[in-house]
Amino acid sequence: DQQVKQNSPSLSVQEGRISILNCDYTNSMFDYFLWYKKYPAEGPTFLISISSIKDKNEDGRFTVFLNKSAKHLSLHIVPSQPGDSAVYFCAASAGNQGGKLIFGQGTELSVKP
Amino acid sequence: SQTIHQWPATLVQPVGSPLSLECTVEGTSNPNLYWYRQAAGRGLQLLFYSVGIGQISSEVPQNLSASRPQDRQFILSSKKLLLSDSGFYLCAWSVGGALYEQYFGPGTRLTVT
């Protein structure tokens, strides 16, 4: 059972435009959500997170939106840059699971100059 | 500042051979430690996590085992590797409970031949 789903395996965006990466989850007990960025042959790096008590968190070019009723979160990157090209994973955790993260399958973002 | 080390970076092992991957964390005490695997074209799968020395929780039944002999050392092992054990193995750490980010090491690329 895939509790965290990223239904788009890939996304291609023009430099300077907005990139929107989506993530859906099924477990209503999830209360913390994170986005990670991963380059090939490297470990994921933490990008941004959001608690379930918020619906938006912004950090520079990156904004995460959370819609609890729809069990959906998204990551917006504005403006997109070629260096943003990577695989993006969303992850979720529940307070009663000791900090374990459940990851989606990832979306490969390609930002074209 | 905290750093996490993994070695080796790459490893090619024959089927049936043993495995030992090591992960160490510096700059923090009593971290939560995690082992993940990323199979080709797949997301990150949590294999083991540990909240303290000698405390290991297994997430999926498999051919692997984990040990935590010291506070900041986490070891992933196998007595006999299978072809299906090939993948990218990632160690991660966090502090606190569910609402804290996990930080990943550089990973080990394991190819079982």
Query: Using one digit for the tens of pLDDT, what is the confidence trace for B58-91?
Result: 887 678 999 999 999 999 999 999 999 999 999 9
- The confidence score (pLDDT) of residue A18 equals 98
* Nearest chain A residue (CA) to B91: A43
- The confidence score (pLDDT) of residue A96 equals 67
> Which one-letter DSSP state was computed for residue A18?
-
Q: Which residue has the higher pLDDT, B37 or A100?
A: B37
**Residue A72 near residue A24 (C-beta atoms within 8 A):** yes
In 3D space, the residue among A57, A53, A54 whose CA is nearest the CA of residue A35 turns out to be: A57
Sheet strands (E) in B31-102? 32-38, 44-52, 55-58, 65-70, 73-78, 87-94
Chain B residues with beta carbon closer than 8 angstroms to that of A45:
104
- The confidence score (pLDDT) of residue A99 equals 72
Coil, strand or helix at B73: strand
Closest CB to A100 among B43, B49, B104: B49
Residues 12-71 on B with a CB inside 8 Å of A are 32, 34, 36, 42-46, 49, 51, 59
Band (pLDDT 50/70/90 cuts) for residue B97 is low
Q: With pLDDT > 90 as the criterion, what percentage of chain A qualifies?
A: 86
Cβ <8 Å between B98 and A104: no
Residue B40 has pLDDT above 80, yes or no: no
Touching check for B97 and chain A: CB below 8 Å?
A: yes
Say which residue the tokens 């859906």 belong to: A24
Mean pLDDT across A78-83:
97
Chain B residues with beta carbon closer than 8 angstroms to that of A104:
43
Q: With pLDDT > 70 as the criterion, what percentage of chain B qualifies?
A: 95
Residue A1 has pLDDT above 80, yes or no: no
